[in-house]
Amino acid sequence: MTTLKRPVGELLRGWRQRRRLSQLDLAGEADISMRHLSYLETGRSKPSRAMLHRLAERLDVPLRERNALLVAAGYAPTFSERKLDDPALSAARQAVDAVLAGHEPYPALAVDRCWNLVASNRAIPPLLAGIAPWLLRPPVNVLRLSLHPKGLALRILNLPEWRDHLLGRLQRQVDHTADAFLTELLAELKTYPVENGHPELEPTAEAMVVPLRLDTEGGTLSLISTTMLFGTPLDVTLSELALECFFPADAATADALRLADEKRKADEQPQEAPDFGSNEAAPSPCCSISL
């Protein structure tokens, strides 16, 4: 299938309209004349590379789409897009690993722009017990995993509330990025059935945040989430990476997560090797692979 290339002026106009700015508004913010902006949008003038960067900055265009603007105008992309395991991003990867590990015994994970799982700490796998295996095959989409009837949905005690929270976040992301994949994902998630939930777990007037209330083998966990982003990314991958860190919303959840962490560490402790003596051959050690 042939994809028609959209003119750079049309792309600029689309981003301006998405941000609900008039030509006068954007021209004032970019310190250019409204006539010049009009010429750029209609194709009567070709924007320079510097002008595209200036307009994209004022329009808060994501780095991925800034590259698309540059290519549409006949320029090479400015922003690299590397995999997270690329040596050039080693410092960033180390920072991600440090945050995830340092957050234990509480759950934390990293996702890309599509909400696909990039990394997680050791508190995450125990929460995924009983999930359909196909939902755990890479790439694991965290939103699909959370809201699908064969995923976590059946164990989320305040599913309607948590579902509204996730769909609201995704809708805002779609509005901001105009990403086609996220638009399709949002439409898919909206088709998933949702039960009425538990009336006794409805939020109170004193509630400050929407918690995730999850039924687990260790009891009910009540978690609140925070999102961390790289503050000044110049790489597309880093600009789209988000760390989701969960904290206990009550003392019972904190205790349950600490106990689970202590049990996991105890299970990981190597067994004391028997003393075979100098005249007996010790058995060959076996290899252990941690997935």
Mean pLDDT to the nearest integer, 278-287: 41
Q: What is the pLDDT of residue 267?
A: 83
Q: What is the pLDDT of residue 4?
A: 57
Q: What are the pLDDT digits (tens) for 181-200?
A: 999 999 999 999 986 554 44
Q: What are phi and psi of 244, to 5 degrees?
A: -105, 110
User: At 256, is the pLDDT very low, low, confident or very high (cuts 50, 70, 90)?
Assistant: very high
Domains 8-72 and 87-202+209-267 share a fold: no
- Report the C-alpha gap between 180 and 174 in whole angstroms: 8
Locate 291 and state its tokens: 């997935």
Q: What are the pLDDT digits (tens) for 86-117?
A: 999 999 999 999 999 999 999 999 999 999 99
Q: What are the pLDDT digits (tens) for 46-84?
A: 999 999 999 999 999 999 999 999 999 999 999 999 999
Q: What are the pLDDT digits (tens) for 1-50?
A: 334 589 999 999 999 999 999 999 999 999 999 999 999 999 999 999 99
Write the DSSP assignment of 178-238 as a string of letters: --HHHHHHHHHHHTS------GGGSPPTT--S--EEEEETTEEEEEEEEEEE-SS--BHHH
| Encoded amino acid at 63, one letter | L
Q: Which CATH architecture has domain 87-202+209-267?
A: 2-Layer Sandwich (3.30)
Q: What is the pLDDT of residue 278?
A: 45
User: At 279, is the pLDDT very low, low, confident or very high (cuts 50, 70, 90)?
Assistant: very low
**What is the residue extent of each domain of the chain?**
8-72, 87-202+209-267
Mean pLDDT to the nearest integer, 270-287: 47
Q: What are the pLDDT digits (tens) for 207-237?
A: 568 899 999 988 999 999 999 999 999 999 9
Classify residue 80 as exposed, middle or buried by CB count within 10 Å of its CB (0-12, 13-18, 19+): middle
Q: At what angle do helices 8-18 and 49-58 cross, to 10 degrees?
A: 20
Locate 167 and state its tokens: 């769909």
Task: Find the angle CA(75)-CA(79)-CA(82) to the nearest 5 degrees.
Answer: 130
Q: Write the class of the CATH domain 8-72.
A: mainly alpha
From residue 176, alpha-carbon distances to 19, 62, 114, 196, 217 in Å are 8, 8, 14, 30, 38
pTM comes to 0.84
Q: What is the pLDDT of residue 260?
A: 92
Which residues, 6+ apart, have CB-to-CB distance to 127 below 8 Å? 107, 152, 214, 216, 221
On the question of pLDDT at 288 being above 80, the answer is: no
Sign of CA dihedral 200, 204, 208, 210: positive
On the question of pLDDT at 119 being above 60, the answer is: yes
Q: What is the pLDDT of residue 273?
A: 53
